[in-house]
Chains A and B, each alone.
Chain A
Amino acid sequence: MAKRETPLLDQLETGPWPSFVTDIKRQAETKPECWDILGILELSYKDRITHWKHGGIVGVFGYGGGIVGRYADVPELFPGVEHFHTIRVAQPASKYYSTSNLRQLMALWEKYGSGVTNFHGSTGDIILLGTRTENLEPFFWDLTHDMGQDLGGSGSNLRTPANCIGMSRCEWACYDTEEACHELTLKYQDEIHRPAFPYKFKFKFSGCPNDCVAAIARSDISVIGTWRDNIRIDQAAVKEYIAGNYAPNGGAHSGRDWGKFDIQKEVVELCPTQCMWMEGGELKIDDKECTRCMHCINVMPRALRPGVDTGASICVGAKAPILDGAQFSTLILPFIKVTKDNDFEELTEFIEKVWDWWMEVGKNRERVGETMQRVGLPTFLSVMGVEPIPQHVKEPRSNPYIFWKEEEVEGGFERDIDEFRAKHKA
């Protein structure tokens, strides 16, 4: 394949940031078809329209996901990208790799593909960009048989579950995110590899409310670690922070002089529910008012830690902004135990109940969060068998989410208005 002239793309190399154009040119030195990636993109810039066709029927036998078909609509001009399919390889839990594993994967991709990668896709998969249809099965055979790795999810499948580093490196993890992610990945192999749903479905596991995998923003079911007892306080360590002997935020902001640490200004007054105060030189917390924002724990990690009665909050319905804008997931279950001792039973029962309902009620290409919005939270809670609680109310009074049925109200909705007005003036 000949080198392509790309005057428009070349301008992208002149900015202050590293450019993908430079990267692809470098890759083209060993993989000449990469010139055609630049060529077809240059043509799209000129024509102001994409020259990729939409979708296709490529895949590996038995799988309905993991491969995303991409074909050029001008193959005669750019034969190197006539087929340019994407392969999604499932990432290991917490994205722990050995370098030998990465080298093996890259050798495989140099053999069967363009060598172009994306670490990682928004679901966490390793994205391998650009191969031909005839290379898919040999690649898949080597990936699964020689490396013991698997494809991730795509299309209307359960997408590759993702988790934070959890208990492997983080003392704040309120449940074992890696175990949960691994076990559920194994349990739901069929849903990951074969389409089952009206649209994509994601779950993500964060060990604490810092939510390092952004579960609340990006997953249809977010499993976010929390605790239901009190934040553990080491008052001696609090004093060390106040005295300036411990760096706040684990020293993360120490590159600049911020002045003396001020616990009142930097912790107590920043508490969103104002549930903290200093009393007699000690930090006090009214834990029942805590909304798990994690700010105080993040600032003073040697003094404050999550409680010991730990589990997870389950939120449902996050999505990116394709329709109606982005939305966070909505709190449905404030606390459940997430443990392998019962095979994550409480969690999997909930997940499957959501699926059964959504498969029935969800419209084509409708995320579960959109279905929830369409039918309303009261209906969703009722179908899930979840009792409404104050935490389900988004905006009390101005936007009440909870409605009572007549049978739930003492005396029903029938009343004598004259008797009522005798006590309550209009």
Chain B
Amino acid sequence: MALSKDELKNAIEEKALQSPKPQLYIKDFYACDPDAKPRDIKNVANEMVREGRLAFWSSGSTTMYGIPSRIQNEEGA
């Protein structure tokens, strides 16, 4: 990873906040640190879910990530 874990978390959060859609695929975060392995990105994203900074959104067959308040706003709309 080129970024530290905290820097990567901030980059992921920024990406999730700026994205036009509130839900993102895990692959959408790969660009946050092109040098990081997909597994590292996945582990950091999942850690952010445990911290409450991201939330899972699942259709049942696919799981996506997003900022909890953004997803809730959309679901409530």
Q: Which residues of A contact B (CB under 8 A)?
A: 53-57, 59, 61-62, 64-65, 67-69, 71, 86, 154-157, 194-200, 356, 359-360, 363-365
Known: A56-B75, A360-B38. A198 touches B59 (CB 8 A): no
Task: Tell me whether A195 and B56 are in contact (CB under 8 A).
Answer: yes
Please give me the residue from chain B that is nearest to A70 by CB atom: B60
- Select the residue from B39, B60, B61, B75 with max chain A CB neighbours within 10 A: B60
In B54-75, which residues have CB < 8 Å from any A CB? 55-63, 68, 71-72, 75
Q: In the complex, A421→B19 CA distance in Å?
A: 62
Q: 18 interchain pairs (CB within 8 A)?
A: A55-B59, A57-B57, A57-B68, A57-B72, A69-B58, A69-B60, A86-B60, A156-B63, A157-B63, A194-B42, A195-B46, A195-B56, A197-B26, A198-B26, A199-B62, A200-B62, A359-B38, A364-B27
B39 adjacent to A55 (CB under 8 Å): no
Known: A54-B59, A55-B60, A199-B62. 6 other contacts (CB 8 A): A55-B57, A71-B75, A155-B56, A195-B42, A195-B56, A364-B62
Kindly provide the distance from the CB of B36 to the nearest chain A CB, expressed in whole angstroms: 11
User: Which A residues lie within 8 Å of B57 (CB)?
Assistant: 55-57
Residue of B nearest to A352 (CB): B39
Complex CA–CA separation, A198 to B39 (angstroms) = 12
Q: Is the CB of A57 within 8 A of B63?
A: no
Q: Residue-by-residue, is B39-50 near A (CB-CB < 8 Å gives 1, otherwise 0)?
A: 100100010011
Instruction: Please name all residues of chain B whose beta carbon is closer than 8 Å to the beta carbon of A356 when the two chains form the complex.
Output: 37-39
Residues of B within 8 A of A61 (CB): 50
A64 and B56 contact, CB distance less than 8 A: yes
Chain B residues closer than 8 Å to A86, beta-carbon distance: 60
**Chain B's nearest CB lies how many Å from the CB of A369?**
15
Partner of A59, one of B26, B42, B56: B56
Complex-state Cα separation, A19 to B46, whole angstroms: 42
Q: With A and B bound together, what is the CA distance between A196 and B29 in angstroms?
A: 12
Task: List the B residue with the shortest CB-CB distance to A64.
Answer: B56
Q: For residue B26, which residues in chain A have a CB less than 8 angstroms away from its CB?
A: 156, 195-198
A-B contact count (CB 8 A): 81
A156 CA / B68 CA spacing, docked (Å): 19
List of B residues within 8 angstroms of A154 by Cβ: 58, 60-61, 63
Number of B residues, CB within 8 Å of A: 23
Cα-based distance from A317 to B49 in the complex (angstroms): 30
Minimal Cβ-Cβ distance residue in B for A358: B38
Q: Contact: A64 with B58, CB < 8 Å?
A: yes
Q: Of A59, A155, A196, which contacts B61 at CB under 8 A?
A: A155
B: which residues have CB within 8 A of A? 25-27, 37-39, 42, 46, 49-50, 55-63, 68, 71-72, 75
Shortest Cβ distance from B49 into A: residue: A64
For B68, the closest partner residue in chain A by CB is A57
CB distance from B18 to the nearest CB of A (A): 19
By a CB distance below 8 angstroms, the chain B residues around A364 are 25, 27, 62
Q: Is the pair A155, B62 in contact by a Cβ cutoff of 8 Å?
A: yes
Min distance, Cβ B53 to any Cβ of chain A, angstroms: 14
Rounded to whole angstroms, the CA-CA distance of A68 and B37 in the bound complex is 28
Most buried by A among B42, B49, B63: B63
**In the bound complex, what is the Cα–Cα distance between A329 and B61 (angstroms)?**
20
Q: Which of B39, B46, B62 has the most CB of A within 10 A?
A: B62
Contact of A68 among B38, B39, B50, B60 (CB under 8 A): B60
- Complex Cα distance A154/B26, Å? 15
Contact of B58 among A55, A62, A198, A363 (CB under 8 A): A55
Interchain CB contact (< 8 A) of A56 among B38, B50, B58: B58
* Known contacts A59-B58, A69-B58, A195-B63, A64 near B25 by CB under 8 Å: no
Complex Cα spacing A360 to B42, Å:
12
Chain A nearest Cβ from B42, distance in angstroms: 5
Q: Which residues of A contact B55 (CB under 8 A)?
A: 57
Bound-state CA distance A198–B27 (Å) is 7
Distance (Å) between the CB of B26 and the closest chain A CB? Answer: 7
Q: Which residues of B contact A71 (CB under 8 A)?
A: 75
Query: In the docked arrangement, what's the CA distance between A115 and B37, Å?
Result: 43
A101 → chain B closest CB, angstroms: 26
B60 to chain A: closest CB distance in Å? Answer: 4
Query: Chain B: which residue is nearest A191 at the CB level?
Result: B42
User: Are A200 and B27 in contact, CB atoms less than 8 angstroms apart?
Assistant: no
A199 touching B61 in the complex, CB below 8 Å, given contacts A57-B56, A64-B49: yes
Taking the closest CB of chain B, its distance from the CB of A166, in whole angstroms, is 28
Closest 4 CB pairs of A and B: A155-B63, A55-B59, A195-B63, A359-B38
